[in-house]
Structure 1
């Protein structure tokens, strides 16, 4: 840690006196600390994070999004609280800097943010039960619904983040350059991806034609980005808002299917273990639709099964691109790690395709 956490906290409008700060959580992008303050004998906790400006190169825009999103949802909570007190934890509560900005910047150029610690709730790294799947999906659907009436467009903090056509073009460029000399190893994977290349533009074409709408989306809908209430087991708060920006709701649901339906790890070498568990998919779909309410059009709802296949294929494309470029983006822990990750994604695409008719029928029923 190359900064003084106590000094950083002194620049936030925290209530109480700094007691201690400790690293917190399992995230790999930002530095996250749990800070305890003494408020007249009562200990209160906050989360203080240093934003990774190597990944998020426009932290001011990121924090503008963060503030707009949380303020919008908290405004809804104030109107609902009389009839539904359980909603009070539905969004993070940002603590401003003493100068009123939503962040603190220190002399070394580090950017920090602070929000109130959500007590009596936790995240889970592995989706183990259908109830967890339902609750996580309902929370993400509710998050999108809460932001469906947000005025104006958020900043696009990572341009073209889920543009599958652009990701495919990057792969073909990596094939052409073959920087790491690995092209001969990946012919089967390239054939698989190219056979599905025409599907990569499906959602973007519909958006360009005005048949589906851009929304405000989370763009990183892993289970561990939802806090689950310790007592009730319900999804109470969506966290990790760095990638909240304009997008299609299908990106969020598709990534839930990708990360939540297979029991195998993302880099599993035994591809026989990679499968889309249909009961888990059903729980995700039911939860998401319950949370999203009625802001999606019938066409948008009908495309939800396809989104799982598309986003899984897109991430496979990204892993393969990085492998061909010499592993320059995703952190690896062994030789061929990104190729293993790619193969796992493509195996999941095959499993989705084998159950696709049933996935569509369920969506039509719901």
Structure 2
């Protein structure tokens, strides 16, 4: 691989969009697992204006043009809803900058794809939830995302990553990784492998409900970690849902579940000390309350009753994905130490076990908000 290409491509991308003014600076930004992100600064009329510039990962997102078609379609729809409600569409959803020839992406001389959008200032994201009010605001935001897009025709969106939350397919990938064991790691993680295999029923649970017509297909975010909501510094309220790469047809309960597995955990996603890892029922209830309020009555009763199952399935699926990547040589998620993906998998499995021990409580919390 020519390691000079990303640097050269970045230089081209800094000038690739129809941004008025003079280029000032471009520096790495954030800590995302998949795309490379930069803070791009231009000077316009004596003032500096900031943008987010991203190099889109073609290994993961094999059709960047279709991906951007999804994003522009959804953000355009959201802008109309936001304006109709008297909101600010430049701050409450991502506002993309196009190229001079009208495209929402720039293709550099090496065939790599880039995009840029206006930087939203005076906000913060939650890398780890510590405050139930913040988690409630995150839930409201993702619930409103569901509510505003309830009328968007989900079937018209491209599937940017095929079978992304098809947990049964993920299980098949996991079994293949175990069988091939290309890094010779399987022997040392038999407990984790058996944990996954013993819960095969979880891999099929939500797919069966969808196949039976019991829960509907919706426009979903599919990566609803709390750090994908920007919180307004001035008001402390959820402002904008970001990271829209995986917006595609899906299940509302998956969006709910991914939020719980990330945000209701009492420890970081890669915590090594598993004694610190549990699912906080206080945070779980705060999210249930906020998500249902944000959805504004657009979910069916079966979807609402399936929310606890969504939490358990998504936590199980994510742990399985981390373990699969560890077995396969860490080719998907960025790692910062040799057993990083294994540590991530173990935290997810600890959360699944904790949810199993609190299952009746999780169901009762959901029922409480149905009965209100």
Same fold (TM over 0.5): yes
Structure 2 equivalent of residue 62 of structure 1: 67
User: Are the counterparts in 2 of residues 227 and 238 from structure 1 also a CA contact under 8 Å?
Assistant: yes
Structure 1 equivalent of residue 19 of structure 2: 14
User: Are the counterparts in 1 of residues 33 and 334 from structure 2 also a CA contact under 8 Å?
Assistant: no
Q: Structure 1 residue 239 and structure 2 residue 242: aligned? A: yes
How many Å separate the matches in 2 of 1:279 and 1:51? Answer: 37
Matches within 5 A, 1:234-273: 234-273=237-276
Q: 1:99 aligns with which of 91, 97, 101?
A: 101
Q: Structure 1 residue 347 and structure 2 residue 339: aligned? A: no
Q: What TM-score, normalized by structure 1, do the two folds share?
A: 0.92
- Deviations along 1:81-128, one digit per CA (max 9) or x if unpaired, are 2xxx46652211111111111111122212111211112112231111
CA deviation after TM superposition for structure 1 residue 328, in Å = 3.6
CA deviation after TM superposition for structure 1 residue 268, in Å = 2.4
Q: 1:293 aligns with which of 288, 296, 301?
A: 296
- Deviations along 1:64-94, one digit per CA (max 9) or x if unpaired, are 111101111111223222xxx4665221111
User: Are the counterparts in 2 of residues 36 and 43 from structure 1 also a CA contact under 8 Å?
Assistant: yes
How many Å separate the matches in 1 of 2:72 and 2:273? Answer: 43
Q: Structure 1 residue 53 and structure 2 residue 55: aligned? A: no
Unaligned runs of 5+ in 2: 1-5
How many Å separate the matches in 1 of 2:24 and 2:334? Answer: 35
Cα distance change of structure 1 residues 109 and 180 upon mapping to structure 2, 3 Å threshold? closer
CA deviation after TM superposition for structure 1 residue 362, in Å = 1.0
Structure 2 equivalent of residue 146 of structure 1: 148
Structure 2 equivalent of residue 330 of structure 1: 333
User: Are the counterparts in 1 of residues 125 and 228 from structure 2 also a CA contact under 8 Å?
Assistant: yes
- Deviations along 1:21-47, one digit per CA (max 9) or x if unpaired, are 333222242232222333323432222
CA deviation after TM superposition for structure 1 residue 9, in Å = 4.4
Structure 2 equivalent of residue 38 of structure 1: 43
**Aligned residue pairs: how many?**
363
Q: Structure 1 residue 132 and structure 2 residue 137: aligned? A: no
User: Are the counterparts in 2 of residues 6 and 18 from structure 1 also a CA contact under 8 Å?
Assistant: no
SS state at 1:14 partner: coil
User: Are the counterparts in 1 of residues 12 and 108 from structure 2 also a CA contact under 8 Å?
Assistant: no
CA deviation after TM superposition for structure 1 residue 5, in Å = 5.3
User: Are the counterparts in 2 of residues 77 and 88 from structure 1 also a CA contact under 8 Å?
Assistant: no
CA RMSD of aligned residues (A): 2.0
SS state at 1:19 partner: strand
How many Å separate the matches in 1 of 2:52 and 2:331? Answer: 31
- Deviations along 1:172-228, one digit per CA (max 9) or x if unpaired, are 222333333333333332333232212321111111111111111111111211111
CA deviation after TM superposition for structure 1 residue 7, in Å = 4.7
